[in-house]
Amino acid sequence: MSRRNWVNFFSRGQGFDLTNDLERGYESALLIQNLELEFYGDRLVRSDVELGVPKSVQASILRRFRAALLICRTTLESVERNRGQFDLQELRQLQLIEAVVSRYGYQLPSGGSPAISRAPEALPRSLLGFFDTVRRQLDPASEETVVAGFRRRRNSTLISLRILLLLILVPLLIQQVAGAYIISPAVDRLSPELPFLSYPKPKLEEQAVEKLRVYKQELEFDALLNSDQPLEADQLRQKLAEKAIELKDEADGLSVQAVKNVFSDLSALIAFTVVCFASRDDLRVMRGFFDEAVYGLSDSAKAFAIILFTDIFVGFHSPEGWTVLLNGIAKHLGLPSQENFVMLFIATFPVILATIFKYWIFRYLNRVSPSSVATLKGMNGSG
């Protein structure tokens, strides 16, 4: 039993290294594609092309390119022998790395500085890929490779679900436990002594005064409606005094509760940050898991999800949702709800969000899944 645990431990560690290497290579390949698109007009990166930018910037671009290309080559050398373990999404990432590496090669010209050129191919890559697939299928160790790939994907799924639950449950538990047993007693004890802990009181007192005015009008209205004698000054003053004490206690309670909410939310944020920092490797695995889930969807499903997301957050009816959300956050934190700030936020943030989303579609989705972009345009009625 112990031997099996040790074997599982080492195989899981190898799976982590394989996934991390593939992620690093994939990110480097995307970086090279971005450099091609942004600075070279979607052509090959070349050191003899003037970009119209300062020489220091161009030198920095070339350094980033060479470092990314080196990572891509190192990734291919480290993961090629385990190619049979990859699923469909990981194979797509590997194919992108191979495509980027195949476009570039290094040679030393007469000047002595490394120049970037395209490596010649003796045979088409599709034909070489066919022979490589046949060779892997006839390999006696192919069954072990498939089983190892299944175990690695299973471990990745379990790790992704575990870190997802940790990211959700740990901050919530810390928020509730710290708020109930640490923050609440401390705020109750220190709030009368520290003035900054009573920042919500002015706004809450204004609301209490408004409620008291409405209560007085209700008393007068009830007296007229029931044909009763108007309340005498002493009776009215007594009822208003009782209501004022009640409203004051309510305002004090809301003020203290708002301060508790602030510190509880801060504790949850700190817990979330600690979990993210302590589980960076697991987060990379979860990222690959979600990439596989998202890019594994059909083109129609991707387009539907994109349209749903954009219509909710930046669509025609999104201002009402943002207004409710901002007012709820302000009430939770004990802050006054400023209409000017809400309107300014609604006028700017959804526009920025829509711009980022369109840029992502143009920059990345158009390269990774052009058919999804075409389907999205058709569903939007512009294609």
d(CA 363, CA 34): 8
| Confidence class for position 111, pLDDT limits 50, 70, 90 | very low
Q: Are 156 and 287 part of one and the same domain?
A: yes
Q: Are 292 and 314 part of one and the same domain?
A: no
The domain in which residue 184 lies consists of: 146-296
Percent pLDDT > 90 in the chain is: 8
Closest CA to 262 of 184, 189, 201: 184
Tally the domains of the chain. 3
182-238 pLDDT, tens digit per residue, is 888 888 887 766 666 666 667 777 778 888 888 888 877 777 777 666 667 777 788
144-195 pLDDT, tens digit per residue, is 666 766 777 788 788 889 999 999 999 999 999 988 888 888 888 877 666 6
Angle ∠(156,161,162) on CA atoms, nearest 5: 95
d(CA 313, CA 326): 13
Q: Are 228 and 101 part of one and the same domain?
A: no
- Give the single-character DSSP code of 18: H
Domain final residue, candidates 139, 157, 181:
139
Among 127-141, 148-162, 319-333, the least confident range: 127-141
pLDDT at 276 over 50: yes
Backbone torsion region of residue 381, taken as left when φ is above 0, otherwise alpha when ψ lies between -120 and 50, otherwise beta: left
Q: Are 314 and 380 part of one and the same domain?
A: yes
d(CA 162, CA 168): 10
pLDDT at 134 over 70: no
Domain final residue, candidates 123, 139, 155:
139
Name, in order, each residue with C-beta under 8 angstroms of 228's C-beta and a sequence gap of 6 or more: 222
Q: Are 182 and 219 part of one and the same domain?
A: yes
Q: Are 160 and 176 part of one and the same domain?
A: yes
Q: Are 306 and 370 part of one and the same domain?
A: yes
Cβ pair 47, 116 in contact under 8 A: yes
Q: Are 229 and 272 part of one and the same domain?
A: yes
Q: Are 152 and 135 part of one and the same domain?
A: no
Q: Are 115 and 128 part of one and the same domain?
A: yes
Q: Are 26 and 132 part of one and the same domain?
A: yes
- Widest CA span in the chain: 110
Q: Are 156 and 42 part of one and the same domain?
A: no
pLDDT reported for residue 110: 36
Closest CA to 201 of 190, 212, 192: 192
72-93 pLDDT, tens digit per residue, is 888 888 777 777 667 666 777 7
